[in-house]
A = this chain, B = another copy of it.
Amino acid sequence: MSNAVEEFNAYRSKMNDKILADNNKIIKRIFNLDTNAFTAGALDVKTKELLGLVASTVLRCDDCVKYHLESCYKEGLTKEEVMETLSIATLIGGTIVIPHLRRAYEYWETLETTQG
């Protein structure tokens, strides 16, 4: 049975496939970098995912937030760590971040409920 996480991922995959099939070199390389940037390096994957989460949140990109929330969840980051990251985002980015915080919180709940 479908849920918000699966719907988001299905749309994301479908459109990414179409865009990449188009063979625009710049876009393909950016997508590629996006994968590489979050692999372990001087910083571990968990820290990098929190960096991706806080940056997405202050830039108020709901889809980017969802993407990083799922990665955080899969990496085993706790709700407390995620909430502390979101609280820093709300302080730095201001109260205009709050609507995104609400949606992020709801998405995290869905991850906890559905991703086992």
Interface magnitude class on chain A: 35 or more
Query: If the complex has contacts A27-B90, A106-B15, are A51 and B48 also in contact, measured as CB distance less than 8 A?
Result: no
| A66 CB to nearest B CB, Å | 9
Inter-subunit contact A19/B93 (CB<8 Å): no
Q: Which residues of the other chain, B, contact A61 by a CB distance below 8 angstroms? A: 60, 96, 99
Q: Is A75 an interface residue (CB 8 A)?
A: no
Q: Which residues of the other chain, B, contact A30 by a CB distance below 8 angstroms? A: 33, 87, 90-91, 95, 98
Pairs across A and B, CB under 8 Å, 28 listed = A15-B102, A19-B101, A24-B87, A26-B36, A26-B87, A27-B86, A29-B33, A30-B90, A30-B91, A37-B87, A37-B91, A41-B84, A42-B83, A43-B50, A47-B47, A48-B88, A51-B89, A54-B54, A55-B55, A55-B92, A55-B96, A58-B96, A59-B96, A62-B99, A63-B98, A64-B95, A94-B96, A94-B97
